[in-house]
Amino acid sequence: MPENEIQDLSFEDALIQLENIVRELESGRIKLDDAVKAYEKAVALKQFCEKKLKDAQLKIEKIEISPNGEISATPLDKVEE
């Protein structure tokens, strides 16, 4: 699968494809050349999923309103519980 086809996938579709490749590789019933190609695709899918997750994490913030009415946003990973 060319790189641009992976970029057109949703996170969920990419994850499903990655899981299917892992199952296929774990089964041991795949020829060596096909396994290498599948592994390369799996690496690209993994990187794509990691990037999607990181991008989503950067967008998630806690919006706070101070007692005087000022609005601020704090990155979710910096919010203390």
Indicate the DSSP class of residue 68: T
pLDDT in tens, the chain (81 residues): 566 789 999 999 999 999 999 999 999 999 999 999 999 999 999 999 999 998 887 777 777 778 888 888 777 666 554
Write down the pLDDT at residue 1. Answer: 58
**7 to each of 1, 37, 67, 75, how far by Cα in Å?**
10, 18, 44, 26
**45 to each of 16, 32, 77, 79, how far by Cα in Å?**
10, 20, 25, 31
Write down the pLDDT at residue 20. Answer: 97
Beta bridge partners of 65: 71
> Can you give the residue ranges of every domain in the chain?
3-78
Write down the pLDDT at residue 31. Answer: 96
Residues whose CB falls within 8 Å of the CB of residue 29, separated by 6 or more in sequence, listed in order: none
Write down the pLDDT at residue 43. Answer: 97
